[in-house]
Structure 1
């Protein structure tokens, strides 16, 4: 049976990748992307793809959302933002999905395991947990995809690796397991989950699970120059710094301000957000992109 899948947030970095994977996974798929009225971005991005239909609706316009979702089997949310997006926009999307008779919903989680973290220790995880409570009460099937942190962050916005100083920072323990998955691998899992009517409430995957010590060894091997781990404090100290940063900042509505990055490292290095039930083989054999692959590409060499 051909599925009709609607992707919200399809013009974003992850959303665009999910659309690409859906088109690859099922040649007969009927695919819709949801965009805000007047944006024009989705029209330009998918102008050459006949299998993608662009539907416009504001999240504050319930009737328009219901019309856009009517006839869809699955809604995939790839929305990214703070409370106004993760909670408010997804709440509106969920309400419209229920009224439109959508059978399944995949929320914009795509993170480490937020279910066991200490309340108040990670804003973005708290937002996801708030939405999860409403999803669990909704009369449709929900599947969350949990994947640890995006591997891509190791070479970008997360200052864990100090390449010039040849150091890998850690908090509390250099041997705490950290879960990472690339955005492309996450997009593949989300697409296959959208096409899987038997998908459970939560699917956990990890493209790689490594420690700070492992990362230092990998960088030493890739560069031929010794990298070492460096203690940056305890997770308790980092949590305190995050609280202060949040209190004095003016970026509460930013998706990933500096203090939120600190909170993410607290969740990972404390072990609270570690994935415990990964199922990487659920959708068959796949070559997952490793931390080594990502670091090698960043350094200009081929994956070893």
Structure 2
């Protein structure tokens, strides 16, 4: 029997991954690692063994790892959690004999970057290297581009709906031909679940819900909603680079004011693409390995929400499924 451990199971992605695992034809045994078991929904706590502990608690992490076939990390938080907290889990895997560790990546391909470029991904790069060097533990790194739910959010700033809900504006940097690679939270959880129980999967694996440029996204909105959104160019990629640094220099503590600009820049310049320019998507992506996963692209995602609801959909991830 496969036993899957999920660290960070009280978060939205952790709950979605657990639900996806329990829906499999042969559900694995679940072990959960959380700080506060009271935050777990009853459907999940009753279906799993729950171990409580802080991210830096090595003894608790080792207890959690005992008996696991694979550990999935779904942490999301500050750099110390994303790097040091994951290293504690990887060390626990090595000590407990857990052969695979699914790192908390679920993002763009950060590997070509240098420290300080897309700085929120520095911890992921360091964890990737730590897995490469750790004896007895194979790292599994699931890359999915940006979260579709976040791309539409007011936080990201690409979509601005009209108050009447009957239209809106797509804002973009660059020339408009750059592709946005995205996957929904739900699809990501389904892919993570299948990778976790597929013992042969190791190293970097890439999945995508969709990849479109801003003009193609506008055309998709026309097809789904019956209106063509206004397009608002914000400047060139060089303009974005200058603006994001100026905003951070002016108020470094206001992290969330400039963070989306950093993501946009390193996605638009092509350095973090899962499918590089000119590459064959079928060869780069593993979507076809799990054909039972119903892939949600831009149009399918729009069909689940009204134009006005799109900008807040990220806050309700999992609610439609009762999670």
Matches of 2:45 and 2:94, distance apart in 1: 28
Matches within 5 A, 1:196-215: 196-215=198-217
Change in Cα spacing, 1:218 to 1:15, as seen in structure 2 (3 Å) is: same
SS at match of 1:202: strand
Matches of 2:27 and 2:122, distance apart in 1: 38
User: What residue ranges of structure 1 are gaps of 5+ in the alignment?
Assistant: none
CA offset at residue 251 of structure 1? Answer: 4.8
SS at match of 1:232: strand
Aligned to 2:21: 22
CA offset at residue 35 of structure 1? Answer: 1.0
Q: Deviations over 1:114-163 (max 9, x none)?
A: 11235422112222111111111112111110001111123323210122
**RMSD value, Cα:** 2.0
Aligned to 2:315: none
1:67 paired with 2:66, answer: no
User: What residue ranges of structure 2 are gaps of 5+ in the alignment?
Assistant: 276-283, 309-323
TM-score between the two structures when normalised by the length of structure 2: 0.85
Change in Cα spacing, 1:213 to 1:64, as seen in structure 2 (3 Å) is: same
Change in Cα spacing, 1:45 to 1:251, as seen in structure 2 (3 Å) is: farther
Change in Cα spacing, 1:173 to 1:101, as seen in structure 2 (3 Å) is: same
Contact 1:147-1:206 at 8 Å conserved across structures: yes
CA offset at residue 28 of structure 1? Answer: 4.4
CA offset at residue 262 of structure 1? Answer: 0.8
Contact 2:102-2:140 at 8 Å conserved across structures: yes
Matches of 1:281 and 1:136, distance apart in 2: 26
Aligned to 2:319: none
Matches of 2:95 and 2:253, distance apart in 1: 37
CA offset at residue 172 of structure 1? Answer: 1.4
CA offset at residue 249 of structure 1? Answer: 3.1
Aligned to 2:4: 5
Contact 1:79-1:108 at 8 Å conserved across structures: yes
Matches of 1:290 and 1:148, distance apart in 2: 13
Matches of 1:260 and 1:177, distance apart in 2: 19
> 246, 250, 255: which one pairs with 2:253?
250
Aligned to 1:272: 271
Contact 1:167-1:216 at 8 Å conserved across structures: no
Most deviating of 135-144 and 188-197: 135-144
Most deviating of 263-272 and 60-69: 60-69
Matches of 1:297 and 1:279, distance apart in 2: 25
SS at match of 1:114: coil
Q: Deviations over 1:197-232 (max 9, x none)?
A: 110311101111111111111223333333243221
Q: Deviations over 1:62-110 (max 9, x none)?
A: 1221122111111100000121211111111111221111111000000
Contact 2:179-2:213 at 8 Å conserved across structures: yes
1:76 paired with 2:72, answer: yes
Matches of 1:11 and 1:224, distance apart in 2: 38
Contact 1:4-1:32 at 8 Å conserved across structures: yes
Change in Cα spacing, 1:48 to 1:184, as seen in structure 2 (3 Å) is: closer
Aligned to 1:288: 295
Q: Deviations over 1:167-189 (max 9, x none)?
A: 22222121112111110000000
TM-score between the two structures when normalised by the length of structure 1: 0.90
Matches of 1:138 and 1:111, distance apart in 2: 22
SS at match of 2:235: coil
SS at match of 1:31: strand
Matches of 1:215 and 1:48, distance apart in 2: 36
Matches within 5 A, 1:183-262: 183-247=185-249, 248-251=251-254, 257-262=256-261
Matches of 1:271 and 1:137, distance apart in 2: 28
Contact 1:160-1:168 at 8 Å conserved across structures: yes
